[in-house]
Amino acid sequence: MESAYLIETVIKIVVILLVFSALAGIGTYFERKILAFMQRRLGPSIVGPYGLLQVAADGIKLFTKEDIIPAGVVGRIFKIAPVITAATAFMAAAAIPFLPQFTIFGYTVHPIVADINVGILYILGVMAVGLYGPLLGGMASANKYSLISAARAAAVFISYEVVTGLAILAPIMMVGSLSLIDFNEYQAGGIGNWIVWSQPVAFILFWIAAFAETGRTPFHLIANDHEIIDGFGTEYSGMRWGLFFIGEYANMFFISFVIPLLFLGGFGDGSFLGALGLLAKVAFFFFFFLWTRAAWPDVRPDQLMWLCWKVLMPVAVINVVITGLVMMF
Amino acid sequence: MFEAVAFYLFAFLTIAMFYIVVTTKQALYALTALAAGMIFISAFFFILGAEFLGAIQIIVYTGAVMALYAFGMMFFDTTRDVKEAQGNKFIITGLATLAAVLVVLIVSAPIISENITAYYPALPEVGNTQEVGMVLFTKYLVPFEVAAVMLLVAMIAGIVLAGKKMDLSITLMNDAEIHDMKIDQKLDQHKKVLS
């Protein structure tokens, strides 16, 4: 029993690592194609059919590039920062139920590495640790643009962590559990039972905060290309820079799993159709990340702080209070 | 078996991290080691089955140490070593002695702890989160509320300290207004020097 469990867990970890590392690469292809489509360009089209092998070409380029450690940086911190971003993104995946349980060759598989009772807290906490990557990379780089980017990473982290926490507090009060499996079961009855209908405000707030936590476009201040070059990534080259990239894309995929699981019914009753539904929702949320990047400009850092502390946080607090009152009476 | 391996691994890592915190001269090393040590401590909560406290440990201390990074960014050039003033030798000796006594106490603590029973033993059928909530809002309600009031006081004090000229927004002013503001400030300084 013990060894079977151990082998199963190791296999699950390896599968998640491989699938999402590959998806992070393919995600860049999707991003370039979709952005090109929306901006009336072609996007990658030379390497392979429809430019599909561009991902492989980029991968080979990143792996074979020289790994430059500039003079004047704090060497060890500089080297470990990209690893933190990538590693924490995959660590957060440990508590996400990717699919409903299924039986293969008479053996029941639960597609979740560790079903701990505090799944949501764990995922959000570990994803937040991921912001240490940009912070440390920026501070260790001995570069002014990188330092600005690190300061912004700290500011975004400290403020949007509050919004995320307060936004999901109201659904947690309703479900009475912190496990994503319990969240899924609570909404298993069909579309009418989805939490988004009773908690639309929390849903929107969490969605907005997800953009800040992953550093995607309306809040893409941490590495704003037209303002502070590449922010924390300015001094990085080769695969260390690639690790930041993999971490960012893996985070986007994982948060795209978390939003439907929390608010939109997850995989429903666990049937094959439900599993397909979850994947469709994930695809939509991932697409939405790219859509906003094509459609919206970036906000200024002070606007970001204004939005967080003067709009989102009060709304989230009011939402929690109202939910409490409704549940009480 | 896994528990023992995990315990010794994380015990070693935690102590190593905090050792780096107190010995290094590089502010960035110290802060990063502090963050890592705080996160490794959460492993002990997970091993003991207190997963709620473990997750909270990660969330609270990543945020807290992140604020320390912000201070480090403001006060030091974090890419250079900090020159430390050599302190009083007696303090160092005293602290070392105290630490040695503490180690002896910690090692001998299990002998005493065999006679101690928990007031609120962990129930296997109730979730960890619910238990923490129960104790927090019954037995420890007053300390909990007092802590909340203290945090509120600290927050108001912080706002008052940092809130001067908060109605001004440099981003919304045009260049001429900013120039006027700077000249006003200089005039004020001159008045203070003269008076």
Q: Yes or no: say if A217 and A298 are a contact pair by the CB < 8 Å rule.
A: yes
Residue A1, pLDDT > 60, answer no
Share of chain B above pLDDT 90, in %: 10
Type of residue found at A70: P
B150-154 mean pLDDT? 93
Chain A residues 168-197 with a CB less than 8 Å from chain B: 177-178
Count of other CB atoms within 10 angstroms of residue A320 = 18
Chain A hits for B54, CB-CB cut-off 8 Å, are 118
**Closest approach of B66 to chain A, Cα-based (Å):** 6
B125: helix, strand or coil: coil
Q: What is the pLDDT of residues A230-277, one digit of tens each?
A: 778 788 888 888 888 888 888 888 888 888 888 887 777 777 777 888
Q: Yes or no: say if A117 and A178 are a contact pair by the CB < 8 Å rule.
A: yes
Q: Yes or no: say if A179 and A96 are a contact pair by the CB < 8 Å rule.
A: no
Residue A92, pLDDT > 70, answer yes
Residue B39 covered by a domain: yes
Residue B102 covered by a domain: no
State the pLDDT at residue A32. Answer: 87
Q: What is the pLDDT of residues B47-90, one digit of tens each?
A: 887 788 888 888 888 888 888 887 877 777 777 777 777 777 78
Looking up residue B37, the CATH number of its domain turns out to be 1.20.120.1200
- Inter-chain residue contact B66 with A135, CB threshold 8 Å: yes
| Distance from C-alpha of A250 to C-alpha of A248, rounded to nearest angstrom | 6
Residues in chain B: 195
Higher per-residue pLDDT: A214 or B117: A214
3-state secondary structure A113-159: CCCCCCHHHHHHHHHHHCCHHHHHHHHHCCCHHHHHHHHHHHHHHHH
State the pLDDT at residue B13. Answer: 92
Confidence of residue B126 (pLDDT cuts 50, 70, 90): low
Confidence of residue B152 (pLDDT cuts 50, 70, 90): very high
Structural tokens at position A217 = 């476009």
**Closest approach of A314 to chain B, Cα-based (Å):** 16
**Closest approach of A166 to chain B, Cα-based (Å):** 14
Q: What is the pLDDT of residues A42-90, one digit of tens each?
A: 888 888 788 788 888 888 888 888 888 888 788 788 888 888 888 888 8
Q: Yes or no: say if B59 and A124 are a contact pair by the CB < 8 Å rule.
A: yes
Nearest to A254 by CA among A160, A85, A86, A123: A123
- Inter-chain residue contact B169 with A177, CB threshold 8 Å: no
Residue A314, pLDDT > 80, answer yes
State the pLDDT at residue B98. Answer: 93
Counts for chain A of helices (H) and strands (E), in that order: 14, 2
Chain B hits for A150, CB-CB cut-off 8 Å, are 69, 73
Residue B21 covered by a domain: yes
> What is the chain B residue with the closest CA to A75?
B79
- Inter-chain residue contact B59 with A77, CB threshold 8 Å: no
Residue B149, pLDDT > 90, answer yes
Residue B175 covered by a domain: no
- A172-186, B19-33, B84-98, B110-124: segment of lowest average pLDDT: B110-124
Confidence of residue A142 (pLDDT cuts 50, 70, 90): confident
Chain B hits for A80, CB-CB cut-off 8 Å, are 32
Residue B150, pLDDT > 90, answer yes
| Distance from C-alpha of B179 to C-alpha of B170, rounded to nearest angstrom | 11
Confidence of residue A125 (pLDDT cuts 50, 70, 90): confident
A107 - beta bridge partners?
A: A104
| Distance from C-alpha of A316 to C-alpha of A322, rounded to nearest angstrom | 10
The answer, for B16 touching chain A at a CB cutoff of 8 Å, is: no
- Inter-chain residue contact A154 with B70, CB threshold 8 Å: yes
- A200-209, A245-254, A265-274, A298-307: segment of lowest average pLDDT: A265-274
Residue B96 covered by a domain: no
**Closest approach of B104 to chain A, Cα-based (Å):** 35
| Distance from C-alpha of B161 to C-alpha of B108, rounded to nearest angstrom | 47
Q: How many domains does chain B have?
A: 1
Residue B174 covered by a domain: no
Which of A139, A148, A160, A173 to mutate against chain B (most B CBs within 10 Å)?
A139
Average pLDDT of chain B to the nearest whole number:
81
Residue B62 covered by a domain: yes
Residue B5 covered by a domain: yes
State the pLDDT at residue B162. Answer: 79
Domain range for B74:
1-87
| Distance from C-alpha of B182 to C-alpha of B188, rounded to nearest angstrom | 10
State the pLDDT at residue B151. Answer: 92
- A109-118, B27-36, B113-122, B136-145: segment of lowest average pLDDT: B113-122
- Inter-chain residue contact A122 with B73, CB threshold 8 Å: no
Chain B hits for A132, CB-CB cut-off 8 Å, are 32, 35, 62, 66
State the pLDDT at residue B68. Answer: 82
State the pLDDT at residue B90. Answer: 83
Type of residue found at A133: G
